Amino acid sequence: MTSGKKGIIERLNAGEVVIGDGGFVFALEKRGYVKAGPWTPEATVTHPEAVRQLHREFLRAGSNVMQTFTFYASDDKLENRGQNLKISGAKINEAACDLAREVASEGDAIVAGGVCQTPSYLSCKSEIEVKAIFKKQLEVFLKKNVDFLIAEYFEHVEEAEWAVQVLKASGKPVAACMCIGPDGDMHGVSPGDCAVRLVKAGAQIVGINCHFDPETCVKTVKLMKEGVEKARLKAHYMVQPLAFHTPDCSCQGFIDLPEFPFALEPRILTRWDMHTYAREAYKAGIRFIGGCCGFEPYHIRAIAEELATERGILPPASEKHGMWGSGLEMHTKPWVRARARRDYWEHIAPASGRPKCPSLSTPEGWGVTKGHAELMQHKEATSSQEIKHLMEMQKKAKSSA
């Protein structure tokens, strides 16, 4: 640690609670800086002020980790399906590292460089070719001297293993997260077996991020923990779930929901839901607790507030938030002042205000994964003929759901 701060493993070994940040991709898409579809992070170069501000808001909310905004920042993704940014992956990754470090230096935060699954793997490229992509990103992370590394958002444990093997060669601590549920990865490898393989590959922290809600993700990390302990291995555990309720999701998670990605708002967890999530994660022995898509700074603040006793500190953002709604005591309306108490918010059952909408959806569940023709990626833009074929597949999937 060049910064003089405690490193990630030092913190976890001491039993500290480390709070991650939230979902940059979704948050910046809503703010107008990320394009839904490619979900690439060129905003680190084109709009650094937006990325910097979001980092600062998460830091103020209690985050200990400033994760570089490098999701889908590999060159094969930046050139996929008609994307023509004319900004290299290296330039995006470098800018992301600089922004994360700048904000981390403003508080008690450390910097994590992140890689994720690649179009090349889905297109059945070789281990050598896929690893070369991770190595290219790692070169930037080493140049910028990030504090540790995260391999996240992997649907297939094989690709996650390859990523960990590459990152481990750096000598820096490595965390690895699958985006799977209790049923395992897209080829049926159980969460426990996934965790064992990742630890054996060199990951010191294993866990789950994205695709599912906190309840499902915590359950899945428990299964990973059981697998690691059964294999008589050791690891720390992390969880960074969605901020959307997903009780109706199948193995592919929220991307199978018909609401994905533009109509998910009715599913957003409240800040009070986040208190429950933080407590359950802590009780499960998970000490690196953060968020992914849908998480905003107020969600992270709720985690920090729930675990304030364990951490011995409240985040700066709590200056503007009365615990359990106590700030409502200052409200002008008496019926709102009556809500300034914990037992009110702990037992609230929020209405959606949508009387004609169902409480659950039917996931499309195409069952397509690595090896299927529909997942083969290419640089050319998606053609009208491809869209026609996909619409036919969608119709078939819905009729059989």
Q: Judge whether 116 is annotated as a binding position.
A: no
pLDDT of 401: 64
> What is the average per-residue pLDDT within 167-177?
98
How far apart are alpha carbons 374 and 161 in whole angstroms? 24
**Is the CATH number of domain 8-325 3.20.20.330?**
yes
Return the structure tokens found at 143.
Answer: 């140049």
> What is the average per-residue pLDDT within 288-296?
98
Return the structure tokens found at 93.
Answer: 């990754």
- Taking only the tens place, the pLDDT of each residue in 90-125 is 999 999 999 999 999 999 999 999 999 999 999 999
What is the SS3 string spanning 183-204?
CECCCCCCHHHHHHHHHHHCCC
pLDDT of 213: 98
> What is the average per-residue pLDDT within 122-138?
96
Percent of the chain at pLDDT > 70 equals 98
How far apart are alpha carbons 289 and 307 in whole angstroms? 10
Q: Judge whether 251 is annotated as a binding position.
A: no
Please report where in the chains the tokens 């923990």 appear, as a residue.
225
Residue 370 has pLDDT above 80, yes or no: no
How far apart are alpha carbons 81 and 38 in whole angstroms? 8
pLDDT of 236: 98
How far apart are alpha carbons 44 and 47 in whole angstroms? 6
- Output the average pLDDT for the chain: 94
Tally of residues, the chain: 401
- Which residues, 6 or more positions from 258, have their beta carbon under 8 angstroms from its beta carbon? 361, 362, 363, 364
pLDDT of 381: 81
> What is the average per-residue pLDDT within 256-275?
97
pLDDT of 365: 77
Residue 302 has pLDDT above 80, yes or no: yes
The domain spans of the chain are: 8-325
pLDDT of 85: 74
The pTM score is: 0.94
Q: Judge whether 293 is annotated as a binding position.
A: yes
pLDDT of 364: 84
Through-space distance between the first and last CA atoms of the chain, rounded to whole angstroms: 52
How far apart are alpha carbons 171 and 255 in whole angstroms? 35
Residue 225 has pLDDT above 90, yes or no: yes
pLDDT of 113: 98
Looking at per-residue confidence, does 83 or 286 come out higher? 286
Please report where in the chains the tokens 């700074």 appear, as a residue.
297
Q: How confident is the model at residue 3 (pLDDT cuts 50, 70, 90)?
A: low
